[in-house]
Amino acid sequence: MAQVDKFGPTYPIPLIYQPHERVEQLKELLNDSEQERQRINIMALIRMYESGELGPLTTGHRSWLCDGKIMDKSLIKENGTPKIPEGSVVWAEVGLHLHYKLGIGMQMMQGHL
């Protein structure tokens, strides 16, 4: 006889990364050869977190960087995606959240460009 799972609703658990935590994560990315093209954006993010220009990374936060600079809001389309200049390197710094399903565990939901 097949086991029937009981209904277990999910609910979001906001993640908050303090600047020093995010800086450590970003520094690890600098050692990843697959992230070499993003180096300019990663270095800019580290500088912004260390200087206090960017605060804690929270659920719902979204910043777009293009070639090491925060993109002007006029370049962001209505659907939230940027108009990317040809040949540019773009990074989306997006706040994450966990979904907890009762009795099952947690899954991380995140998005990257």
Domain boundaries in the chain? Answer: 16-93
| N-term to C-term CA, the chain | 44
Model pTM above 0.75: no
Give the number of other Cβ atoms within 10 Å of residue 54's Cβ: 19
Q: Is 68 left (phi over 0), alpha (psi -120 to 50) or beta?
A: left
- Look at residue 87 in the predicted model and tell me its pLDDT: 86
Full pLDDT tens readout for the chain, 113 residues:
566 666 555 555 667 888 999 999 999 999 999 999 999 999 999 999 999 998 888 877 788 888 999 987 777 676 767 677 788 888 888 876 554 444 333 333 333 33
Give, in degrees to the nearest 5, the angle at Cα 16 between 99 and 75.
95
Tell me the C-alpha to C-alpha distance, in Å, between residue 109 and each of 14, 62, 89, 99, 106: 11, 14, 23, 7, 10
Give the number of other Cβ atoms within 10 Å of residue 27's Cβ: 12
- Look at residue 84 in the predicted model and tell me its pLDDT: 78
